Amino acid sequence: DQQVKQNSPSLSVQEGRISILNCDYTNSMFDYFLWYKKYPAEGPTFLISISSIKDKNEDGRFTVFLNKSAKHLSLHIVPSQPGDSAVYFCAASLPFYGQNFVFGPGTRLSVLP
């Protein structure tokens, strides 16, 4: 039972353009969402998070949008840079049980120079 879905296994974007990575979830009890970035042969590293009380969170070139009614979140990267090429994982956690983060399968982003 896949509670966090990332339906695009891969995405290619031109350098300088916007990258939009999507994530859908099925459990309406999830209240905290995170995006992780992973380079080959390295562990995932935290990128940005959002609590369910917000619908947007920005950090530099990265913005996460949350649409609770649609159970959908997206990560926008503007402008995209070649160094952003990596696998991006969406994760979600339940209230009072934040020690169990449920991850999506990831989307491989390729930013072309």
Partner 1 sequence: DTAVSQTPKYLVTQMGNDKSIKCEQNLGHDTMYWYKQDSKKFLKIMFSYNNKELIINETVPNRFSPKSPDKAHLNLHINSLELGDSAVYFCASSSLGQGSTNEKLFFGSGTQLSVL
Q: Interface residues with partner 1 (CB under 8 A)?
A: 2, 32, 34, 36, 41-46, 49, 51, 87, 89, 91, 98-101, 103-106
Residue 106 C-beta: closest distance to partner 1, Å: 5
In the complex with partner 1, which residue's Cβ is closer, 20 or 48?
Answer: 48
| Cα distance between residue 46 and residue 48, in whole Å | 6
66 or 87: whose CB is closer to partner 1? 87
Minimum separation from the CB atom of position 14 to partner 1 (A) = 25
Question: Of the two residues 44 and 73, which places its CB atom closer to partner 1 in the complex?
Answer: 44
The rounded distance, in Å, linking the Cα atoms of 66 and 73 is: 4
User: How many residues make up the chain in this entry?
Assistant: 113
Our CB check for partner 1 shows the closer of 65 and 101 to be 101
Q: How far is the CB of 97 from partner 1 (least distance, A)?
A: 9
Closest distance of CB 10 from partner 1, Å: 12
Please state, in angstroms and as integers, the Cα–Cα distance from residue 99 to each residue in 41, 66, 82, 90, 102, following that order: 24, 21, 33, 16, 10
Quote the tokens at residue 44.
Answer: 């995932």
For tokens 């983060």, the residue is 101
Question: Helix, strand or coil for residue 84?
Answer: helix
